[in-house]
Amino acid sequence: MRVVLVGPPGAGKGTQAQFVAQHLSVPKISTGDIFRANVSSGTPLGIEARRYMDAGDLVPDEVTSDMVRQRLLEEDCAKGFLLDGFPRNLTQAHVLEDIVLGIGQRLDVVLELVVDDDEVVRRLSGRRTCRQCNHVWHLDFDPPSREGICDACGGELFQRDDDKADTVLHRLEVYYTDTSPIVGHYANLGILVGIDATGPVDDVTDRALAALRPFER
């Protein structure tokens, strides 16, 4: 199954991607995680991407699309994938269609996580991410049992630079101007489903799996 998760920053894409990908037995591919791994190890891609990420802007399409094309053509994606954070504009949506058509496949479903802006700001201000396994936590809504330590792997938790207040507001603007048009695009293709992404994480997962069920094959 080939699935895309879409929603504003902080909607819970990464949180839900972990469970949904496991349920579908497909790899979870987060462009944000790939960029952050490159930033941490100081690769040329990371050095280039960081300038945009710190400002809350999108990394240029060419760089992002080449990276995703390479990743989706790897062996573990042959039977499907779950994309978190790509596509983020119409150009990238067309690139994804080309990649999938190129391997004789199609995109099955796009799942939109719907939350309002106030909730996004509350979620991002308390988000903590594991340096080692990328698991996301929240200081109030989903705290780890030991402060600063990831329950999943024992790694160190950190606050992303782009989760600071000013950058969050800019990222929301970028979502509404650049990314939200892809929602209409996928609705026109008849492969969009939206769910209410507020409430406890487990309830959102149940809604996500129920929404995907009709598309499973």
Q: Which residues bind ligand ADP (CB under 6 A)?
A: 7, 9-15, 123, 126-127, 136-138, 141-142, 199, 201, 204
Exactly one of 4, 39, 53, 77 binds ligand AMP (CB under 6 A); that residue is 53
- The answer to the question of residue 59 lying near ligand AMP (CB under 6 A) is yes
Q: Whole-angstrom Cα distance, residue 138 to residue 123?
A: 7
Could you give the angle at the alpha carbon of 144 between the alpha carbons of 201 and 134, nearest 5°?
75
User: Minimal CA–CA distance to 5: which of 85, 96, 119?
Assistant: 85
Query: By rule CB under 6 A, what string of x and - marks binding of each residue 175-194 to ligand AMP?
Result: --------------------
What are the tokens at 27? Answer: 């790899």
How many residues of this chain bind ligand AMP (CB under 6 A)?
17
Exactly one of 162, 182, 192, 195 binds ligand AMP (CB under 6 A); that residue is 162
What are the tokens at 164? Answer: 């600071």
What are the tokens at 6? Answer: 């879409």
Closest approach of Cβ 186 to ligand AMP, in Å?
15
Question: What is the CA 39 to chain-centroid distance, rounded?
Answer: 17
Who's near 149: CB < 8 A, 6+ residues apart?
155, 156, 157
Exactly one of 56, 127, 175, 204 binds ligand AMP (CB under 6 A); that residue is 56
**Where along the sequence are the contacts to ligand AMP (CB under 6 A)?**
9, 31-32, 35, 52-53, 56-59, 64, 85-86, 88, 92, 162, 171
